[in-house]
Amino acid sequence: MAHQGIVNIINFIRAVEPRDARIDLLEPIRQQIRLIREHDLPATWLIQYDALQDPRIVSLLKEGLDDRQEIGIWFEVVQPLVESIGLSWRGRFPWDWHSHVGFSIGYHPDERRRMVDRFMTDFKTEFGQYPRSVGSWLLDAPLLAHLADQYDLSAGCICKDQWGTDGYSLWGGYYNQAFYPSRKNGFMPAQTAKAQIPLPLFRMLGSDPIDQYDAGLEAWTGDPSTSQHVVTLEPVYAEGTGAPGGGNPDWVRWFFKTNFRNPSLAFAYTQVGQENSFGWPAMAAGLQMQIPLVAAGNGGAWRVETLGTSGRWFKSRFPTTPATAITALSDFREQLRQSVWYNSRHYRLNAICENGAFSIRDIHRFDENYPERYLQNVCPTADCRYDTLPLLNGYHWSGRDCRASLRCHRLSADGSLLPNSGSGPLATTELDANSLRIDWDTGNSEILEWLCRENTLEVAWRESPRQPRHWILEMNWSDRIAIPLRRIEPQILTYRQAGYTYRWICLQGHFEGWSNTALRLVPDAGRLILRMES
């Protein structure tokens, strides 16, 4: 199947950096413009409201950018924007990164819309037209709906999945590529065209498909203040250390090969670039290494285009969120680790294989009716949380005593578990536009097949002359973690999170409780079929 590969170069621009007044905020813009022009590439430049008010920054953009470039808005909230609509500023500095001050969720929905209107009006006054793209670490549903309905924006971008980093927790979302958000939840993919906001959101930063998910897991104890470290394409990270990250040339080459040369279903995607508030010295080596690599693949393995162009392509091709995949069949560290992510508008799943041992470490359900915490309410705290609905959460349900997961086991005659060590490696096959098959070699010519379709997951043995009579899947979690599972019935698991009830349905086979830290998924006629209820 032919793969579409898309790279967006997105640099976003602030006019103040209160954490270090010595940082030159203009030099990164000059150097980024130079790099883009040298390599004849399109790029997206997202400006914060205070940057829109700074004539030095506006002049740099007007004088340095050609008509292949796109200027959009970076929607973090700053003092001049708040005061422009008659509100009092509550921040510690003119730009304050705390969630209840520096993001739209710290303000009532009508105040958010008024800030959008002011930003858009002033942008049009300066540049002669409304922007086509918007970005922020997080974007709430009322804000997104207003931008889409009133201003017909083409695309937005938000942060990767992370827990607690900088106080922002976004967990369980559409893992990469892009999705249409629900009108009730800016982080939740909608299942129907009627309930979706017609503004595709692309996931930023180029998240490592193997290492980012578990980053910080060794310190996780159930304390919600725990935060992860960053394993992404951002050029300020891992420079010269040999660790994974955007400053390491070896990792960057591995990342691009993994992302764009392996099965991805609808399309593969990543974002390159850096915010100016890190300063040019911190990002120089990484960006000057990455941009030539991006240029070398342009028009081949991937195409480089603006965020707005990608959004218009997405909307012209997909009436609802498509299925995509990220397939990492080799490990940058050569530690025999593999990871496959599957996303559809109904759920996401991650399979991990480590030294031949296979497990599912994450399944989250998507439900357009699950409201975000800030749909009508104001975020009252310095940190914030966006999430979807976990069926299995391998990060937050783990503890020092247990790695939460879903694993396959053989059963002996007395019902005890027998080991399934496996021999690996994983293999993936695109079956159609929305379906991905993940195969795990369990040894003895036996293959465990995981068939990911838009709203179902099927598990079966195949290609085995000695197909085992008895096997089960077992899902386990730490007894130190309060998970949202509320009831186990043969065909239904019932969960409740943040006051919202949701279910996991077994169409073939059944669930059975096993202990206070485990349940089993038992096949019927050698097959399990699981549905993500809509």
Question: Residues 357, 424: one domain?
Answer: yes
Phi, psi (deg, nearest 5) at residue 415:
90, 0
Three-state SS at 470 = coil
Question: Residues 261, 332: one domain?
Answer: no
Question: Residues 386, 350: one domain?
Answer: yes
Residues 6+ apart with CB under 8 A from 342: 323, 324, 325, 348, 349, 350, 436, 438, 452
Task: Specify the number of domains making up the chain.
Answer: 2
Which pLDDT value is given to residue 467? Answer: 53
**Contact call for residues 461 and 447 (beta carbons, < 8 A):** yes
CA dist., res. 486 & res. 27, Å (int) = 55
Question: Residues 388, 482: one domain?
Answer: yes
CA dist., res. 470 & res. 525, Å (int) = 10
Question: Residues 321, 335: one domain?
Answer: no
* CATH of residue 503: 2.70.98
Question: Residues 357, 299: one domain?
Answer: no
Domain hosting 363: range is: 327-371+380-532
Question: Residues 355, 281: one domain?
Answer: no
Question: Residues 429, 312: one domain?
Answer: no
Segment holding 88, helix H or strand E: none
Question: Residues 337, 444: one domain?
Answer: yes
Which pLDDT value is given to residue 1? Answer: 47
- Which residue, 309, 325, 341, sits at the end of a domain? 325
Residue that the structure tokens 């700053």 belong to = 78
Three-state SS at 125 = helix
DSSP string, 199-230: S-EEEPS-B-TTTTTTTTGGG-SS-TT-----
Question: Residues 353, 313: one domain?
Answer: no
Segment holding 313, helix H or strand E: helix 307-317
Question: Residues 204, 274: one domain?
Answer: yes
| Angle 283-284-288 from CA coordinates, rounded to 5° | 115
Question: Residues 342, 281: one domain?
Answer: no
Which pLDDT value is given to residue 343? Answer: 98
Which pLDDT value is given to residue 420? Answer: 65
CB burial of 153-174 (b: ≥16 within 10 Å; e: otherwise) equals bbbbbbbbbbbbbebbbbbbbb
For the chain, 534 residues long, give each residue's pLDDT as a single digit of tens. 457 999 999 999 999 999 888 899 999 999 999 999 999 999 999 999 999 999 999 999 999 999 999 999 999 999 999 999 999 999 999 999 999 999 999 999 999 999 999 999 999 999 999 999 999 999 999 999 999 999 999 999 999 999 988 889 999 999 999 999 999 999 999 999 999 999 999 999 999 999 999 988 876 666 666 778 889 999 998 766 778 899 999 999 999 999 999 999 999 999 999 999 999 999 999 999 999 999 998 878 999 999 999 999 999 999 999 999 999 999 888 888 999 999 999 999 999 998 888 999 999 999 999 999 999 999 999 999 999 999 999 999 998 878 999 998 887 777 777 766 666 678 999 999 999 999 988 776 678 899 999 999 999 987 555 555 578 899 999 999 999 999 999 999 999 999 999 999 999 999 998 888 999 999 998 899 999 875
